[in-house]
A and B are shown apart, each in its own frame.
Chain A
């Protein structure tokens, strides 16, 4: 089944404790993105990647890192999480580019205390 998977789905952590949210897609898509969703603000892009080893900042990259060592995986790294990073995170992939339909993962709900 074609899908985007994320892990973990739920995470509660404390300020400053490094964490990684994994994202994997099995559709051989070149483009992948990370978004955060907060009430009333919609989805905001954190980082995106157009191919292996090619990443770029989105609208809200501060406090986040990404890597794209393999085509299928695009992990999101929070080196020192803070409470303002409490949010719902989505990974997405697209076959042709960021202007085309995005396939979203199920989401990761992160709480930083």
Chain B
């Protein structure tokens, strides 16, 4: 059974700083997804990482996948207040055709 763990669970950072959110998963997962959720809102898809070594970037966010280490990272560069949200990673179980979500990382960017 796939288990997904994120850390940290809560992250407070100043504007302009860099930081990384980590997503570890327990068994083979060839696909890794990142989502963003604003308070009281739905989930917005950020990235789908399809293979080992995959790297995707959108604005100040960059996601990568290392399937051998069973690790995905979401790197935030020069954070701005608008990035404040909860970020979820999710692993894909192909045999069961479903996603398993991590518990989320609540990011707070302060001025």
A binds B: no
Residues of A within 8 A of B (CB): none
